[in-house]
């Protein structure tokens, strides 16, 4: 209880950093920070066949992108290393041999076919499959013997309360595969003991593993291999896809990296993730990692599964984009915009103005791709539908002619002066509604009916380094799509 808080995230590099893993990491991180403890990254690469270095790298990148920096780990070191299970084999062999010597584990040499047959037999008999030693062996895989007499194990979970398990239903499980590699249930416990992990915060999918691990902690202590107390456990519920199924590729993006490339801000993603299965005591849903850590406690983790819906993620992303200062916005948006063209067409001041003008409706960073094209080049493409609906009307002709005539005389020193001129124009065209004046002008100059503030847009188009009187040019071109009649 009083021992230092040490928590860990223990991903296996068999895939890119998954949303579920990221949330587990986040909860552990928040808990560690809340208690001034340590957050450890341990790579569980015992599945040689499926573990890949690029996945490990992806996990590092994803965690770091989210701001979840670990205090100890394979790449940063620490007092309890190494932090990659493939480099800790002697720990597992030593522990396993000690268990074997103490009679708590034994070798089995069943073939895959035999195991399969045993399972099928149990199934046919309608009985639960429970592996028990049925013959002596001197090599093969090493199994842990479930201690007798069988009892009922009670796990006191920090989020679920008391959960009990009947050990009779637990089969003797493999701790060392026949290739000498440890299995998850074993390596996990050996390492958590060795690394003095105080709290295990993980997904509900691990709850069925817990009784085996509980037994293993006891056994390791019983044989004097370890004196580490069993950690506290907290099992958070799963994150599900909208159809309540497991979050899988079928759902779309399941990797954190995918969300980053889709233009989600790390701070937005973290904030959103934190609220999936946890709720702040004060009801304030916004918060930086630091702020959330201050409020984070295990007892507010939810027991029921949460569905991953992007609506709220989008909301958070909009919110955090709004809060970015111009420089950061420029930086964040740079992967999605043609910086070269931007630099060639606009001065730094104009670039800032442009970014501010388009920031409002951005949901994801990638949206800049859609929001900026009309700021570049001489001409603008106007969709056929808009030519027909907006430009091909007598009102549009009136507006655009009036605008074309006045434009050369306008005070174009700033967006504000242009705004004032626009206002005056609207007044002079009085019976016409603002909307019917704004739309044709916007459509003619940008090829859209919505977008950045019109006055700012006109200002930028007019003063951009390209010069060439783009506004007048585009309006002239648009006029071609207006009815010829009212040439006032």
List the interface residues with RNA, window 103-162 (CB under 7 A): 108-112, 115, 119, 122-123, 126-129, 131, 140-141, 160-161
Interaction with RNA in 322-351: which residues (CB under 7 A)?
none
Q: In the bound complex, what is the minimum distance in angstroms from residue 165's beta carbon to RNA?
A: 6
Interaction with RNA in 394-453: which residues (CB under 7 A)?
419-420, 422-423, 426, 434-435, 438-439, 442, 449-453
Q: Which stretch binds RNA (CB under 7 A): 58-66, 312-320, 343-351, 388-396?
A: 312-320
| Residue 3 vs 119, nearer CB to RNA | 119
Residues 6+ apart with CB under 8 A from 378: 466, 468, 470, 473
Q: Which stretch binds RNA (CB under 7 A): 216-224, 275-283, 342-350, 469-477?
A: 275-283
Per CB under 7 A, does 64 bind RNA?
no
Q: Which stretch binds RNA (CB under 7 A): 95-103, 173-181, 221-229, 461-469?
A: 173-181
Tell me how many residues contact RNA (CB under 7 A).
Answer: 92
Q: Which stretch binds RNA (CB under 7 A): 220-228, 301-309, 389-397, 398-406?
A: 301-309
Catalytically annotated residue among 127, 249, 430, 435: 249
Q: In the bound complex, what is the minimum distance in angstroms from residue 293's beta carbon to RNA?
A: 18
Residues 6+ apart with CB under 8 A from 477: 379, 444
Q: In the bound complex, what is the minimum distance in angstroms from residue 233's beta carbon to RNA?
A: 12
Q: In three state form, how does the secondary structure of the chain look?
A: CCCCCEEEECCCCCCCCEHHHHHHHHHHHHHHHHCCCEEEECECCCCCCCCCHHHHHHHHHHHHHCCCCCCEECCCECCCCCCEHHHCHHHHHHHHHHHHHCCCEEEECCCHHHHHHHHHHHHHCCCCCCCCCCCCCCCCEEEECCCCCCCEEEEEECCCEEEEEEHHHCCCCEEECCCCCECHHHHHHHHHHHCCCCEEEEEHHHHHHHHHHHHHHHHHHHCCCCCCCCCEEEEECCEECCCCCECCHHHCCCEHHHHHHCCCCHHHHHHHHHCCCECCCCCCCCCCHHHHHHHCCHHHECCCCEECCHHHHHHHHHHHHHHCCHHHHHHHHHHHCCHHHHHHHCCHHHHHHHHHHHHCCCCCCCHHHHHCHHHCCCCCCCCHHHHHHHHCCHHHHHHHHHHHHHHHHCCCCCHHHHHHHHHHHHHHCCCCCHHHHHHHHHHHHHCCCCCCCHHHHHHHHHHCCCCCCHHHHHHHHHHCCCCCCCCC
Interaction with RNA in 362-381: which residues (CB under 7 A)?
none
Per CB under 7 A, does 24 bind RNA?
no
CA dist., res. 386 & res. 292, Å (int): 47
Is 249 assigned a catalytic role? yes
Interaction with RNA in 29-48: which residues (CB under 7 A)?
44, 46-47
Closest CA to 259 of 11, 5, 17: 17
| Residue 407 vs 467, nearer CB to RNA | 407
Q: Which stretch binds RNA (CB under 7 A): 53-61, 274-282, 348-356, 476-484?
A: 274-282
Q: In the bound complex, what is the minimum distance in angstroms from residue 332's beta carbon to RNA?
A: 18
Interaction with RNA in 208-247: which residues (CB under 7 A)?
208-209, 237-238, 240, 244-246
Per CB under 7 A, does 181 bind RNA?
yes
Closest CA to 134 of 154, 117, 110: 110
Among 68, 216, 276, 292, which residue interacts with RNA (rule: CB under 7 A)?
276
Q: In the bound complex, what is the minimum distance in angstroms from residue 373's beta carbon to RNA?
A: 16
Per CB under 7 A, does 177 bind RNA?
yes
Per CB under 7 A, does 383 bind RNA?
no
| Residue 31 vs 131, nearer CB to RNA | 131
| Residue 37 vs 451, nearer CB to RNA | 451
Among 75, 291, 331, 360, which residue interacts with RNA (rule: CB under 7 A)?
360
Among 54, 311, 381, 384, which residue interacts with RNA (rule: CB under 7 A)?
311
- Contact letters (x/-) for RNA, 79-108, by CB under 7 A? -----------------------------x
- Output Rg (C-alpha) for the chain, integer angstroms: 32
∠ Cα 26 32 33 (to 5°): 90
| Residue 11 vs 231, nearer CB to RNA | 11
Per CB under 7 A, does 361 bind RNA?
yes
Q: In the bound complex, what is the minimum distance in angstroms from residue 288's beta carbon to RNA?
A: 17
Q: In the bound complex, what is the minimum distance in angstroms from residue 340's beta carbon to RNA?
A: 27
| Residue 248 vs 487, nearer CB to RNA | 248
| Residue 299 vs 384, nearer CB to RNA | 299
Residues 6+ apart with CB under 8 A from 325: none
What residues are labeled active site? 249
């Amino acid at each position: 209880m009083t021992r230092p808080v040490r928590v860990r995230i223990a991903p296996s590099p068999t895939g890119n950093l998954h949303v579920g893993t990221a949330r587990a990491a986040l909860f552990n991180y928040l808990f560690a920070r809340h208690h001034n403890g340590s957050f450890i990254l341990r790579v569980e690469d015992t599945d040689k066949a499926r573990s890949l270095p690029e996945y490990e790298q992806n996990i590092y990148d994803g965690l770091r992108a989210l701001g979840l920096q670990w205090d100890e780990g394979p790449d940063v070191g620490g007092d309890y290393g190494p932090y990659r299970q493939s480099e800790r084999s002697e720990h597992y062999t030593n522990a396993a041999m000690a268990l074997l010597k103490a009679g708590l584990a034994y070798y089995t040499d069943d073939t895959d076919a035999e195991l399969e047959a045993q399972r099928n037999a149990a199934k046919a008999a309608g009985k639960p499959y429970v592996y028990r030693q049925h013959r002596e062996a001197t090599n093969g895989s090493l199994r842990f013997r479930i201690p007798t007499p069988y009892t009922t194990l009670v796990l006191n979970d920090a989020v679920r309360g008391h959960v009990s398990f009947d050990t009779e239903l637990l089969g003797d499980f493999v701790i060392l595969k026949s290739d000498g590699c440890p299995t998850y249930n074993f390596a996990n416990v050996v390492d958590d003991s060795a690394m003095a992990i105080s709290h295990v915060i993980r997904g509900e999918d691990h709850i069925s593993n817990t009784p085996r691990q509980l037994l293993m902690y006891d056994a390791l202590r019983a044989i004097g291999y370890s004196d580490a107390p069993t950690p506290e456990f907290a099992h958070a519920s799963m994150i599900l896809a909208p159809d309540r199924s497991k979050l899988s590729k079928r759902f779309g993006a399941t990797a954190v990296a995918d969300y980053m490339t889709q233009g989600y801000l790390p701070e937005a993603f973290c904030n959103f993730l934190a609220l999936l299965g946890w709720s702040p005591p004060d009801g304030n849903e916004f918060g930086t990692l630091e702020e959330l850590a201050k409020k984070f406690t295990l007892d507010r983790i939810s027991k029921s599964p949460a569905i991953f819906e992007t609506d709220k993620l989008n909301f958070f992303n909009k919110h955090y984009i709004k809060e970015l200062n111009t420089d950061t916005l420029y930086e964040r948006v740079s992967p999605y915009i043609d910086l070269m063209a931007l630099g060639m067409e606009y001065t730094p001041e104009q670039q800032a103005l442009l970014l501010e003008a388009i920031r409002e409706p951005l949901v994801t960073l990638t949206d800049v791709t859609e929001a900026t094209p009309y700021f570049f080049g001489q001409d603008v493409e106007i969709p056929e539908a808009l030519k027909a609906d907006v430009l091909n009307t007598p009102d549009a002709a009136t507006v655009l002619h009036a605008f074309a005539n006045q434009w050369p005389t306008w005070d174009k020193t700033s967006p504000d002066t242009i705004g004032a001129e626009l206002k005056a124009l609207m007044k002079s065209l009085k019976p016409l509604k603002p909307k019917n004046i704004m739309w044709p002008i916007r459509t003619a100059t940008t090829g859209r009916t919505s977008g950045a503030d019109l006055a700012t847009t006109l200002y930028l188009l007019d003063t951009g380094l390209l010069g060439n009187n783009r506004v007048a040019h585009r309006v002239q071109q648009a006029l071609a799509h207006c009815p010829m009649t009212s040439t006032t």
